[in-house]
Amino acid sequence: MTASGVAPPEAPAKIIFGKYEIGRLLGYGAFAKVYYARHILQGHSVAIKIISKAKVIRGGLVVHTKREIVVMRRLHHPNIVRLLEVLASRSNIYFVMEYAKGGELFSRVARGHLSEDQSRKFFHQLIFAIAFCHARGVFHRDLKPENLLLDDSGNLKVSDFGLSAVAEQIRSDGLFHTLCGTPAYVAPEILSRKGYEGAKVDIWSCGVILFVLSAGYLPFNDPNLMALYRKIYLGEYRCPKWISPELRRLLSRLLDTNPETRITVEGILNDPWFRRGDLNAFDIISLYSRFDLSGFFNSTVKARKRFVSAGPVDAVLVRVETVGREEGLVVRRRLRSLKGRGAAAVEGWMGNLIVWVDVYRLSPELVMVEVERGGGLEAARWSFEFWREKLTLGLRSSVSEPPTPVCATSGELSSGPSTPVTGGAKRIGSASEPASPVYVEEKVMLEGEPAINGK
């Protein structure tokens, strides 16, 4: 206890859970502190957010904290800080996260404005990350340079989803109504208190961030909070003379005070300034590509493949999930209402379906696996490396005897639209299955979630 009778902040143990060595303090807030840490056995660096259970309960933030866990577990993307695991002690919750060695993007901007090429690079990465979030029903609602981190290669990482919202929170009018965000980055419709769309307020904040990167200062700024809000509401800002006409036009569409006419993600992707330098769909897909793009339109690749693998069904789905996550993709597992059948959707960074995997029980030891490729450029990009050479071989590696094809499927790869895969009850099956539908519920994977109320 201190002389004032107030207990000092709890100092973290040097080593927690027998595997993480706690280092320097990286940052702190009202309810949490973030420390640098090192995995003792594997040696890699992580950031650990330590949240006080008592403060969470006193502040009425139990549901809020659980939501943050759910949100971060949904988001596996090269430009989003990844949640590695969640641990808990009697008094604290520990978010073990990817460590961004380059620090905050804010520190780069504090030294002066960036060139338009540098701003464009970071803006590309920001938009790809936000598009990925929105495709999964997640809205950040507190985007600002302080929440944008850099890895050791200088790539952007979106962090701090503490104020994020999910589609399930939308009211019957289709809008959010919670007041949140940082004053200088908040959208005018939030100030009106009439409800707002999560995607559109994120786009506004992206516009403020792009302005800050390119100009070196905030578009809306005033020491008087009410005067600041008035400038935001009226859209009063001035661009410095070095900003190009193309960028000015994009900023005016991002900072449109009318959310109905504000530019969308699709509009941004097609904007001339965003696409400058001959950026096309192939460039967008391959920005984070680690593989040769040959094989995009390999006519010998079939759209569907079937083979026999060692069972049981759940073990095969776990293998699909493991292979997908090793490649940085998102895998959503679904269990069918009919016993002995299961499925998994593997999605790319922009939320598109890459492959759909159906698993059918043949015997206690064997299952039939049907792998069907999704449609579109991103699926074509991944089908050659991931679908054919990683997923299929990965599954076949678990077969106790040489795999025997069940049947051959004719037809070339289709470039047509695929069936979207989202949460909720969905029909699973291929055209060759009976017409009677089989429905499933997506299972929110929260195994190992620490009890916040309990001890």
Cα 330 off chain centre by: 9
* Alpha carbon distance 358, 445 (integer Å): 19
Sorted by sequence, the CB contacts under 8 Å of residue 235 that are 6+ apart come out as: 188, 255, 256, 257
* Alpha carbon distance 342, 71 (integer Å): 24
Retrieve residue 38's tokens. Answer: 């090192």
| Angle (nearest 5°) at CA 216 between 200 and 271 | 45
Sorted by sequence, the CB contacts under 8 Å of residue 60 that are 6+ apart come out as: none
Residues β-bridged to residue 36: 47
List the end-to-end C-alpha distance of the chain, in Å, as a whole number: 23
| Angle (nearest 5°) at CA 315 between 309 and 317 | 85
Phi/psi for 110 (5° steps) reads -60, -20
At position 75, the amino acid (one-letter code) is L
230 C-beta neighbours (distance < 10 Å), count: 14
Residue showing tokens 């969905």:
426
* Alpha carbon distance 405, 389 (integer Å): 17
Retrieve residue 328's tokens. Answer: 């940085």
* Alpha carbon distance 279, 120 (integer Å): 11
**Which residue from 183, 163, 171 is spatially nearest to 226, judged by alpha carbons?**
183
At position 420, the amino acid (one-letter code) is P
Residue 49 labeled ligand binder: yes
* Alpha carbon distance 302, 292 (integer Å): 20
Alpha helices in 255-303 (DSSP H): 265-269, 272-275, 281-286
* Alpha carbon distance 89, 87 (integer Å): 7
Catalytic residue, candidates 117, 142, 160, 358: 142
User: Residue 403, CB half-sphere, CA atoms under 13 Å: how many?
Assistant: 21
35 C-beta neighbours (distance < 10 Å), count: 20
- Is residue 283 flagged as an active site residue? no
Residue showing tokens 């690079």:
121
**Which residue from 453, 450, 454 is spatially nearest to 93, judged by alpha carbons?**
450
Which residues contribute to the annotated binding site? 49
Which residues contribute to the annotated binding site for ATP? 49
Q: Which residues are identified as catalytic?
A: 142
